[in-house]
Amino acid sequence: MGVILISKRFMKIVTAGFATGITLWPFIILKDKDAAENKVLLNHEKIHLRQQIEMLVLPFYIWYLTEYLVRLIKYRNRYQAYRNISFEREAYNYEKHAEYLTKRRFWSFLKHI
């Protein structure tokens, strides 16, 4: 599942207060304790954990950043660029499906490029 940490300050520094949670393998870092009760958010972050493991962690971050920059050039909007990263598309599409990770195929994020 990953180790859940709560740090409002970390989230404010790293995401400029934009996000409620972030996954940095093997940690899921949340803004506050209430977020730890949010099953949809936790499932979203668990999907990212799986993506990171599949890509052996470091290549995940390189791909994520590269795709973000490409999308930023395309959309000229930080939020749109973020939402259109293939990893995020997969996570948002399936975050409400609690059973998704039990059925998910290897490198499923590729379907969302």
DSSP-derived secondary structure letter, 105: P
- State both tokens at 92: 């948002």
**Full residue range of the structural domain in which residue 73 is found:** 3-112
Tell me: pLDDT of 1 over 70.
no
Give the residue-averaged pLDDT of 15-27: 94
Task: State the burial class of residue 1 (Cβ atoms within 10 Å of its Cβ: 0-12, 13-18, 19+).
Answer: exposed
pLDDT-derived band at 17 (thresholds 50, 70, 90) equals confident
- State both tokens at 66: 């590269």
Tell me what the pLDDT averaged over the chain comes to. 96
Domain count for the chain, please give it: 1
pTM: 0.95
30: helix, strand or coil: strand
Give the residue-averaged pLDDT of 92-112: 97
Look at 84 and 16; give whichever has higher pLDDT. 84
pLDDT tens digits, one per residue of 28-75: 999 999 999 999 999 999 999 999 999 999 999 999 999 999 999 999
- State both tokens at 34: 């209430």
- State both tokens at 93: 């599409």
